[in-house]
Chain A
Amino acid sequence: MSGRDSILGAVRRSLQRRPDDGAAAAVAARLGEHPRGPVPQRGQLQGEALLALFVAQAEGVAATVARVAEAAEVPAAVADYLKGVNLPPKLRMAPHPDLQSLPWKERAPLLEIAEGRAEAEDAVSVTTAFAGVAETGTLVLHSGPQSPTTLNFLPETHVVVLRADQVVGAYEEAWDRLRAAGEGLPRTVNFVTGPSRTGDIEQQIQLGAHGPRRLHVVLVGDGRASA
């Protein structure tokens, strides 16, 4: 008997499983309906209030947020941010059409931009996000040809461009949007809540353990778009 069969057999014996006990139907129903548990009231907001919660929660976990009215302002916002934290104007950008279509040359001529996955020497990355979850100030990112996962973890500084209409209240809403976006999950879905941190030395929180020391969100648009 294979390891699989003997383990499943042991589980079934312990559960006293009978073939016709209706369990399979219960399991199929739960998987099909994927019912929600209690969703915190906190995130059940609309428009500007929802964005304000996202910003407050993200800042509460040491992320920084800059708000711009429209996408064309993103390049200057990124350049300003790098200058503000004393970083050279050089970055690795996700090969995503939403980023590629921005007026980088016109609005941020000094920025040196390379595209692709992150390499060890990259200090700054710029990516899109799939969603922002206001409940805890969490960014939802996923892998794919236009969004390499290494960009989320290797560079010391990670800049995320998030549209206001991508901000939702609760994790469950992000899952619904991801289910609607395609067949099955991408290889990696990252829920990112603030920069990397550790408390492993005497329970004192230090930022930048292995992932980014800095997480900066450029939030594009206002509450009207997300309502």
Chain B
Amino acid sequence: MQSTSHAFKDNAHRALGDPELQRAMGHVRSGFIDKRLDAIGKLPEFEELRDRAKAIKDHTLAHLDLYLERYEAKVTENGGKVHWCADAEEARQAVLRICRSLGAKTVTKGKSMVSEEIALNDFLQEQGIEPVETDLGEYIIQIRHEPPSHIIAPAVHVTKEQVEADFRRVHGHLPPERPLSEPTQLVSEAREVLRQRYLEADVGITGANFLIAETGSSVIVTNEGNGDLTQTLPKAHIVIASLEKVVPTLEDASSILRVLARSATGQEFSAYTTFSTGPRRRDDPDGPGEYHVILLDNGRSSMLGTEFEEMLRCIRCGACMNHCPVYHAVGGHAYGWVYPGPMGAVLTPSLIGVHEAGHLPNASTFCGRCESVCPMRIPLPKMMRHWREREFELHQSPAKARVGVELWAFFAKRPRLYRLATGLAIGLLGRLGRRRGRFSSLPLAGGWTAHRELPAPAGRSFQALWAERNQGKDRA
């Protein structure tokens, strides 16, 4: 999809002023955080499983070439085909070739962030093939012509009143006076409307949470069952997956599955975890006749062996964004591409370039909650710091920030001068602000004081107070 990550600041500004969005984002705070805590509280082995999950991915990434070869061999052995695609264009073309070979007119789709990454829907539409999203959240954003705003709850930014309006607009064949204000009515209507689409579809496309080298299986984790209808009913099942999704064995997938749902939705296990291996067998009464895997690199192989390699452990649970104060405030669309929140702030510059997405790693308070809840123990704040350093080295940061940092560095390298200068500045501010105890405007600090007051310093620097305190100790 077309990125607007470069416009993060404007996007965020608009999001903060959008009352519907702010109301919808309230559900993120209440919906995910407590449920996760509850689920992990019931599993004493959770921390041990996090360590295991991390170790599995580290081992797999260190041997990725070998596991990919094994995975492909197993897919082939089971009658499926792996399509190796270096970038988004190759992946789109591979999907198109399969659809054309089957004369496909409509394809149903389970939720796949990699399919968003390669902007598959727009492309298929241009080629005269109708893509139908079947995950309820994805369906909602498809009819709203919006990108997802969350990797596991793509329509989390939409209120139920908005969904009602969209359904009334799009489902014109249904009686206009029908009641549709309750979530259960909305869910039933989507179920009825999409049921027909499953049955008509020629090709079903899903993503994959895991690829298993041992067996050549792809794994999807869903709650609705839409992914299963999508892949079971049509003539062909196409799996779109990026290459870091591979894990060695069924046991390894099981270990990671134990941390996935708990971290994501706070469920102990998602309703449906499905392992798919090749096309239907000769005596099977149902299932797809063809099985294809679009195996996408799109920049990931060049993250291996770099300071961003650990990002490839990500299992897309969404815990980092569920716990991120910046994500809560601005929502997912502000990030401007497929992956929002802390994981997006690290991954997006890797995949589409720091020139385009350099703002994202700056949109963090470094509070560290993302790292503390990441089931794969990805050091997200550290990696955002790496991006900030890169951005600085590339002379991309705004002139003001550069001058500021360089000025600070000049003083920081000269401790006596630093103490003198900060002492003078703090003393001056302390005297100026003594009467009110705070400033509502201050030269050079407009970015701060535009939204809140700046407390006046006490008049002495921390270092000065510390030195005095320690001197006192020495005397004692």
Contacts and interface: CB of A to CB of B under 8 A. Distances in A.
A60 to B, nearest CB: 8
A2 B136 CA distance: 38
A185 B277 contact: yes
Nearest to B228: A153
Interface string B381-404: 000000000000000000000000
Contact of A12 (B65, B186, B233, B272): B65
A84 interface: no
Given A149-B287, A172-B251, A191-B273, A38 B52 contact: yes
B302 A14 contact: yes
B115 interface: no
Contact of A210 (B184, B194, B275, B279): B194
Interface in B48-73: 48-49, 52-53, 56, 59, 62-70, 72
Nearest to A141: B274
The majority secondary structure among interface residues of chain A is loop
Interface string B249-284: 111101101100000010111111111111111011
A35 B251 contact: yes
B305 A153 contact: no
A206 B187 contact: yes
A120 B268 contact: no
A187 interface: yes
A225 interface: no
Contacts of A224: none
B135 interface: yes
A2 B156 CA distance: 41
A206 B90 contact: no
Interface bin, chain A: 35 or more
B276 A187 contact: yes
A6, A30, A199 — which one has the most chain B CB atoms within 10 A of its CB?
A: A199
A203 B153 contact: yes
A26 to B, nearest CB: 7
Contacts of A83: none
A198 B136 contact: yes
Interface string A16-42: 110000011011001100111110111
Contacts of A136: 268-269
A145 B285 contact: yes
Given A116-B285, A203-B31, A191 B90 contact: no
A2 B297 CA distance: 14
A39 B442 CA distance: 59
Nearest to A33: B249
A125 interface: no
A6 B135 CA distance: 34
A145 B59 CA distance: 38
6 contacts: A15-B62, A15-B65, A189-B277, A191-B273, A196-B224, A197-B223
Given A27-B63, A187-B279, 10 more contacts: A14-B301, A31-B213, A37-B255, A61-B267, A120-B199, A143-B281, A148-B284, A199-B153, A208-B191, A211-B271
Task: Across the A-B interface, give the 3 residue pairs with the lowest CB-CB distance, nearest first.
Answer: A211-B225, A203-B31, A37-B255
Interface of B: 24, 27-28, 30-32, 43-45, 48-49, 52-53, 56, 59, 62-70, 72, 77-78, 82-86, 90, 134-137, 140, 153-156, 159-160, 163, 183-184, 186-188, 190-191, 194-195, 198-199, 213-215, 217, 223-226, 228-229, 232-233, 243, 248-252, 254-255, 257-258, 265, 267-281, 283-287, 295, 297, 301-306
